Amino acid sequence: MFDSFRKTPGERGERLAAKHYRRDAYRVLEQNFRTRQGEIDLIVQKGGTLAFVEVKTRDPHAIAQPREFVTAQKQRRLILAARRYLMLHPERADSTLRFDVVEVVLSRWGGASVHRIENAFTL
| Cα atoms in the 13 Å half-sphere on the side-chain side of 36 | 0
Q: Can you tell me the mean pLDDT for 7-22?
A: 92
pLDDT tens digits along 20-61: 999 999 999 999 999 998 999 999 999 999 999 999 988 777
Domain that holds residue 93: 3-121
Give the SS3 label for residue 121: strand
DSSP class of residue 122 equals -
- DSSP-assigned letters across all residues of 32-100: EEE-SS-EEEEEEEETTEEEEEEEEEE-TT-SS-GGGGS-HHHHHHHHHHHHHHHHH-GGGTTSEEEEE
Residue 116 CA to residue 118 CA, distance in Å, equals 6
What CATH number is given to the structural domain containing 75?
3.40.1350.10
Q: Is the pLDDT of residue 16 over 50?
A: yes
pLDDT tens digits along 100-120: 999 999 887 778 999 999 999
pLDDT tens digits along 54-92: 999 887 777 777 788 889 999 999 999 999 999 999 999
Partnered with residue 117 across adjacent β-strands are 101
Number of structural domains the chain divides into: 1
